Amino acid sequence: MSVSNSLNFLGSYSGITSETIDSLIAAQSGKLTQYNNQKETLTKEKTAWSDIQTRLTNLNTKMDALMDPKSFFSKKTTSSDETKLAVTAATNAVPGDYTIAIERRATASQLLSGEILTTGQTSTSALGFEGTFKLASQDTSEIGSSSPTTLKQADITVTSTDTLKDIIIKINATTKDSGISATIIDGRLSLTDAQMGDRTISATSTTDLADKLALNPAAPGAAKATLATGNTAKIIVNNMITLERNTNTITDAIEGMTLNLKGTTSGSSVSVSVADDTDNTLKVVKDFVEQYNSTVSFITEKLSVGNPTSTTNVSGALSGDSTLMRLQSSLRQMLTGGVAIQKINPTDPNETQKYDFIGSLGISVDRFGKASIDETKLKEVITKEPDRVAGFFSRSITVDGTSEKKKVGLAEKLQTVVNSFVDSKDGMITAKNKTYDKAMDDIAKKIEAFNVRMEAQRARYVKTFTALDTAMMQAESQMSYLSSQLTSSND
């Protein structure tokens, strides 16, 4: 008898149905419930560690900013007319106010050929020209340099099937060598110097190819090329210093500043100011503190034991986890601990190491590890002592009696702790995940084996109770037969 037939027959006489067997199986499923509970707990713990890793990684990003000098020494600039002059400043720029007049912008030299195409020809028509011509541009150092002038040059070979488009493709393929790029304007070759300024540009050949391409400025009539030499940029700084450069992006006029010339000022000037960007520094520190608080708060939540006396108590997913407790303690100690300052005389045994503390920057930490900022005090310290604030977060000191450098800044020490957890190869969270994965794999195997046993047990129940129904059916049949025989005998 098949299983399906057995199930259909089951309970016909004994009253023991498939629902009865389900109840018997369920009564033995306590172990399965235990396995599923263990799996759910492990999943919650692994998810919690994954969330902690995300927060620690974000904290690392904020600490990277704290170790970047730009965060503490960046400058902000303003220009009274951005359409004429845009200004950026590096960390070494000196705060101050400047006036800049732009008499002219730099332009590139251009050579426009004369008429090349004959009646009926287009830029895709074969020209029928053959030979080689040489393109050359001036390669020189900045204005005022005593370096000799050299030429950047390239040979362009033309075949009889080449079109005007083919020729500009060949020219542009050699721009790196010649310093010249090409395009087509009104059926003519337009050659442009890749650099700006009053520079030479030429196209010559030992044959008549340059003349056929109308690239000779000395040619007569419509075949004459037009050479327009470029200009240097010319600016006047503070109404006193006149500068000329072969570029519209000037980086050496004012220390640490880049001037991007966009237009001329026509007899007037643009006012430019440079100042320390204390707001940026304040934001970087605030971002770090906010991420630190978010991380510490999340760790505290996951370690919470809740209210053990409550029947509905809910504890954190990692309550009692010693590894997480160690991380929590390390983060708090790092933030409240001092940052070592280099001794004035490292060889003097009587001189004690001095320390700077985060409270001196206007940042306090409560007993729960949460940090808060006195923005007024922090901004004051940033304005007056940016070096000190930068050094608090990133500093190297010399180890006594050696040339060894030791990183002692808060961000550097904190990052060492954080990296010991989030490192993808050797980090503690990676090790935790491997342990969780193995444990969950073991549980999955136990659940699979348990389900196999229960299916076998179900099959045994079905077989046993089906046999019981069969026996009861046979007994009933025999009783009916005997009863009929006795009735016949009595008759």
- Domain of residue 197: give its range: 110-228
Pick the last residue of a domain from 251, 276, 301.
276
Nearest-angstrom CA–CA distance, 193 and 182: 9
Residue 137 parent element (H or E): strand 131-139
Statement to judge: residues 99 and 122 lie in one domain = no
Per-residue pLDDT at 477: 75
Contact by Cβ (8 Å): 27, 487: no
H helical segments located in 304-427: 322-336, 375-384, 386-393, 410-422
Q: Encoding tokens for residue 205?
A: 């050949």
Statement to judge: residues 204 and 120 lie in one domain = yes
Nearest-angstrom CA–CA distance, 53 and 56: 5
% the chain with pLDDT above 70: 90
Distance separating the N- and C-terminal Cα atoms of the chain: 40
Nearest-angstrom CA–CA distance, 392 and 411: 8
Per-residue pLDDT at 145: 56
DSSP character for 426?
T
Statement to judge: residues 204 and 255 lie in one domain = no
Per-residue pLDDT at 393: 94
Domain count, the chain: 3
Residue 120, sorted as left (phi over 0), alpha (psi -120 to 50) or beta, turns out to be left
Per-residue pLDDT at 189: 96
Statement to judge: residues 316 and 418 lie in one domain = yes
The pLDDT tens digits of the residues spanning 367-404 come to 888 999 999 999 999 999 999 999 999 988 877 666 67
Residues of the chain scoring pLDDT < 50 = 1
Task: Please give the single-letter amino acid code of residue 265.
Answer: T
Pick the last residue of a domain from 248, 276, 304.
276
Statement to judge: residues 393 and 256 lie in one domain = no
Other CB atoms within 10 A of residue 393 CB: 25
Statement to judge: residues 38 and 96 lie in one domain = no
pTM (global) more than 0.85: no
Nearest-angstrom CA–CA distance, 146 and 149: 9
Statement to judge: residues 426 and 312 lie in one domain = yes
Q: Where are the beta strands (DSSP E) in 176-223?
A: 180-185, 188-193, 201-204
Pick the last residue of a domain from 228, 247, 264.
228
Statement to judge: residues 183 and 39 lie in one domain = no
Statement to judge: residues 295 and 399 lie in one domain = yes
Phi, psi of 224, deg, nearest 5: -75, 130
- How distant, in Å, are the alpha carbons of 198, 236, 241, 256, 263 from that of 253? 19, 10, 9, 9, 17
Statement to judge: residues 372 and 491 lie in one domain = yes
Statement to judge: residues 153 and 289 lie in one domain = no
The pLDDT tens digits of the residues spanning 233-253 come to 999 999 999 999 999 999 999
Task: Please give the single-letter amino acid code of residue 74.
Answer: S
Per-residue pLDDT at 259: 97
Statement to judge: residues 117 and 249 lie in one domain = no
